[in-house]
Amino acid sequence: EAQVTQNPRYLITVTGKKLTVTCSQNMNHEYMSWYRQDPGLGLRQIYYSMNVEVTDKGDVPEGYKVSRKEKRNFPLILESPSPNQTSLYFCASSPKVGILNQPQHFGDGTRLSIL
Amino acid sequence: GESVGLHLPTLSVQEGDNSIINCAYSNSASDYFIWYKQESGKGPQFIIDIRSNMDKRQGQRVTVLLNKTVKHLSLQIAATQPGDSAVYFCAENANTNAGKSTFGDGTTLTVKP
């Protein structure tokens, strides 16, 4: 089954303790992206990757890191989490057809609580 | 002048009625637009998309209309069903900045039986 898989689905942790949210897709998609979703603010893009070893900042990259060493994986790293990073996080992927954008496939989300 | 639908954060309709969800986008360079549906506890799911060289596109029970003049997008759902209850988001992309995606605030659609 074609899917985007995020782990963990839920995490409660404390300020300053480094954490990684993994994201993996099995559709051979070039493009991957991370979003956070907060009440009243919709989805905001954190980082995206056009292909392996190519990453770029979205609208809210502060406090996050990403890497894209392999096509299928795009982990989101919080080096020193803070309470304002408490949110619902989504990973997404899409194919690329030339320069044309395509719809994104989303994972089911990771709910992070930073105390 | 032309009338453009307002974006509403919530919309309640009777089962069987048609629904219209509106979205205003911000970037005049945007040339690709997508509607997503998000059910409780899940990630957004693709419904329908439209590129800027079109002003209307139809799917199964859904139609997307694009008005580039006033930067407005709408999603029409025909014969709305209880299973259509969800949050609906529009998203915009520009091929000149292909990686960036901007999402609207979302509209919560509730279908009353």
pLDDT for B2 equals 43
Q: Which of A4-8, B23-27, B72-76, B95-99 has the lowest mean pLDDT?
A: B95-99
Give all strands (DSSP E) within chain A, no chain letters.
4-7, 10-13, 19-25, 31-38, 42-51, 54-57, 65-66, 76-78, 87-94, 105-106, 110-114
Res B96 pLDDT > 80? no
Q: What is the DSSP string of chain B?
A: ----PPP-SEEEEETTS-EEEEEE---TT--EEEEEEE-TTS--EEEEEEETT-SEEE-SSEEEEEETTTTEEEEEESS--GGG-EEEEEEEEETTEEEEEEE---EEEEEE-
Which residue ranges in chain A fall short of pLDDT 70?
97-99
Q: Tell me whether residues B103 and A41 touch, CB distance under 8 A.
A: no
Question: How confident is the model at residue A97, as a pLDDT?
Answer: 63
More confidently predicted of B74 and B4: B74
- Does A58 contact B45 at a Cβ distance shorter than 8 Å? no
CA A66 – CA A111 distance, rounded (Å): 18
Q: In this predicted structure, what is the pLDDT of residue B26?
A: 82
The pLDDT, as a whole number, for residue B35 is: 96
Contact at CB, A108 and B102, closer than 8 angstroms: no
Q: Does A42 touch chain B (CB under 8 A)?
A: yes
With 60 as the cut, is the pLDDT of residue B3 above it?
A: no
The answer to whether A94 and A105 are in contact (CB under 8 A) is yes
Q: Under an 8 Å CB criterion, which residues of B touch A?
A: 32, 34, 36, 41-46, 49, 51, 89, 91, 93, 95, 98-106
B69 vs B8 pLDDT, higher one: B69
